[in-house]
Structure 1
Amino acid sequence: MDLQLSVFLLFTLFTAGHSLSCYECVSMTGSCDNQKLKTCPNGSSNCMSLTVIPQNQFSFKTKIKDCTVDCQSGSINFGISKLSSSCCNTDQCNVQDAPDPSNIPNGRKCYYCDGQTCLNTVSCSGTEDRCVNATVTVESLSAVVKGCATTSICDATFIPSVGGISCCEGNLCNGAQSVTSCEGNLCNRSQSVTQSFLFLCCSLLSYFMMH
């Protein structure tokens, strides 16, 4: 018993106070050349690296790295934005940028929303083997989002501001209804809704991968 207690105390001594270290950066130049090493706060158990590629000519490829409590590796495609994530749990393991999401179609198709309608279809690629539905709410704007996702993303648990997460298997299994709504003066103007919807989708992409 004394030997076991001594081993336990030694283990506690050598492991106490150790915090995970990860690289952090936010870059819109397509590469995390400016990444810095940081000591993660208590509770963080993963390092993550994200690549976000909005699907329009006026947006920039974004790279993000940081500590996180939990993380899901994989990719997700909401039609207007695509994201891939790499997650790991050892010191400085996120030194490499997350790869760009695959552009190789895998034969599956899902519905996605563009801020006005959810009748659009998107071709899934790479490991995206499920169609996904979710509802995201930020302040007074609520929207249903749809798209393609890898199975690991569907296994995400609690995600702030997001509810009704469900995944299904099979082409176009995630429905097609138009479901964007908001409150406030002139909130139904096309440009306002579309910009807000893009913001919601980008927030949701990060929540899916980082929580």
Structure 2
Amino acid sequence: MDLQLSVFLLFILFTAGHSLSCYECAGLTGSCADQKLKTCPSGSSKCMSLSTVRLDQSMKVKIKDCAVDCRSGFMNFALSKISSSCCNTNLCNAQDAPDPPNTPNGKKCYYCDGQTCSNTVSCLGTEDRCVKATVTVGDLSAVVKGCASKSLCGATFIPSLDGISCCEGNLCNGAQSVTQSVLFLCCSLLSYFLMH
């Protein structure tokens, strides 16, 4: 009986002692000066560090936390850039996510500027895919397009960003669906006949 109790206690100590710990912070002013230690909940197996830079407003947001799903890579929406870094050891997210790359790689994708999604952006560094997603802030949502590292395609851990889908060719994230094109053509023909 004492052997069973000893094994049980060792098991409890072993599993309790191996909970992942990560730094946690939400720096809305570009700094994570007040990061705190956090014991991750069950199921979290990674620590993440995420940075978002909004170029047209000179705004930078940094987030550090535990994560169930996390991948390292970059997204470039021309007006904003996201950098993600993930690791799986205690307090490994002490460093901020790396700065986005700045060397063009020859790939081009469409991006949205609030008026249209027909603008093009040059992809940088490891951004080897074109991406389309929906960003949601409060009750507002909008489509965003740009470049992404393959590793971030389909990611679910980036706050406010849903439905991330990627494609491989140059400007592949801007094609209209066949239904929309046919509908547009039919409406154009109908208006032509009504006006003449």
Shorter-chain TM-score: which interval?
0.7 to 0.9
Does residue 153 in structure 1 map to residue 152 in structure 2? yes
Percent of aligned pairs with the same residue?
69
On the 8 A contact 1:78/1:147 being kept in 2, the answer is: yes
User: Match for 1:62: what amino acid?
Assistant: V
Q: Secondary structure at the match of 1:13?
A: helix
User: Match for 1:173: what amino acid?
Assistant: C
Q: Which moved more, 1:104-113 or 1:25-34?
A: 25-34
TM-score (norm 2): 0.75
On the 8 A contact 2:166/2:173 being kept in 1, the answer is: yes
Does residue 108 in structure 1 map to residue 107 in structure 2? yes
Superposition RMSD on alpha carbons, in Å? 2.8
Distance (Å, rounded) in 1 between the aligned partners of 2:29 and 2:154: 31
For structure 1, list consecutive stretches of 5 or more residues without a partner in the other structure. Answer: 178-211
TM-score (norm 1): 0.70
Q: How far apart are 1:113 and its partner, in Å? A: 0.8
On the 8 A contact 1:109/1:122 being kept in 2, the answer is: yes
Match of 1:170 in 2: 169
Q: How far apart are 1:31 and its partner, in Å? A: 3.8
Match of 1:89 in 2: 88
Number of aligned pairs?
Answer: 172
Q: How far apart are 1:59 and its partner, in Å? A: 3.1
- TM-aligned CA distance change 1:97 to 1:146, over 3 Å: same
Q: Which segments of structure 1 move beyond 4 Å, counting only runs of 4 or more?
A: 8-11, 136-140, 157-161
On the 8 A contact 1:23/1:92 being kept in 2, the answer is: yes
Distance (Å, rounded) in 1 between the aligned partners of 2:34 and 2:141: 35
Q: Which has the larger radius of gyration?
A: 2
Distance (Å, rounded) in 2 between the aligned partners of 1:51 and 1:161: 14
Q: Secondary structure at the match of 2:96?
A: coil
On the 8 A contact 1:31/1:97 being kept in 2, the answer is: no
User: Match for 1:43: what amino acid?
Assistant: G
Structure with bigger RCO (C-alpha 8 Å, 6+ apart): 1
